[in-house]
Amino acid sequence: MTNEATVEPRREPAAHVNMLGFAKRPTKKKRSKKTRKWAPTMALQELYVSCKEVFRGPGTVPLDQDVKRLCHMLDNMKLEDFGLSCKLDFFNPKAAVIGTPRITYTIVYECDKFSMCVFFLPATAVIPLHNHPGMTVFSKLLMGTMHVKSYDWVDSPTADEPDSPAQVRLAKLEADSVFTAPCHTSVLYPTTGGNIHQFTAITPCAVLDVLGPPYSNEDGRDCTYYKDFPYTALPNGEMGSEQEEGDCYAWLEEITLPENLQMFVVRYKGPQVDDSSG
């Protein structure tokens, strides 16, 4: 998940940003009209420094020890590291959702090697099946309960195959589970670990995504959406052992951006990272 939908960024009214609940510093008296940026929290700054060392650009995958290093750091991160609180109205499990749930995300930091984003999903909101081409993605559920379904291709697509939205491809189910915060960080890789995944919020959720490298249309890392069909819905052909494990497989069809997907970006107003050293 990060700029995971190819939607046009849109500046939202201040009231909408406040609804997300970026906590405000307690103030006694207004001494100046100048606004001061938040200093980075220790956890956020350490994550930023580690990401700079771990992510080395397109075509690379972090080493195993570096993956463990980031997972350990992310496992201990909290809403407060981003100026948020679990007491906000947004995280009230009884909060009413009117119409199609609208997903909001904010970019904490982004460069050409990695990005850090926080997504806010109201209850019942869905980020449909989508891929992360050439990326390693760390997802940390900061708050709430979420259902995650993910797939990997049985056979990786080849460059010379026609790119047709009607084409279906066999995928293996990697995860179909419910997670409740606090929980361990999930990791997916360019071709393994569930590169194609879907998020469904059971309660209001906040999830931190760290992607390396980030999405980039110019560099061929565009987001593609999919719809899954049961394995038995289409002729098996000569699939071998998959016939005996139909529940572990599905057919994925590429689709256009779902019309009912409402995803908006808002300006990040929480603690900033200090990138002055590099």
- pLDDT tens digits, residue range 260-276? 888 899 999 999 999 88
Tokens of 22: 């970026």
| Beta-carbon count within 10 A of 139 CB | 23
The mean pLDDT value for 16-42 works out to: 48
pLDDT of the residue at 201: 95
Alpha helix ranges (H) inside the chain: 14-20, 42-54, 64-75
Is the pLDDT assigned to residue 149 strictly greater than 50?
A: yes
Residue 191 confidence (pLDDT):
94
pLDDT of residue 16: 35
pLDDT tier for residue 257 given thresholds of 50, 70 and 90: confident
pLDDT at 259: 80
Helix (H) or strand (E) holding 212: strand 205-212
Percent of the chain's residues with pLDDT above 70: 74
For Cα atoms 23, 1, 227, give the angle at the middle one, nearest 5 degrees.
135
Least confident stretch, 31-40, 126-135, 169-178, 195-204 = 31-40
Q: What DSSP character marks residue 133?
A: T
User: Per-residue pLDDT averaged across 69-94, rounded?
Assistant: 88
Summarize the confidence of residues 149-159 as an average pLDDT. 82
Q: What is the spatial distance between Cα 72 and Cα 92, in angstroms, rounded to a whole number?
A: 28
Q: Distance between CA atoms of 265 and 119, rounded to whole angstroms?
A: 9
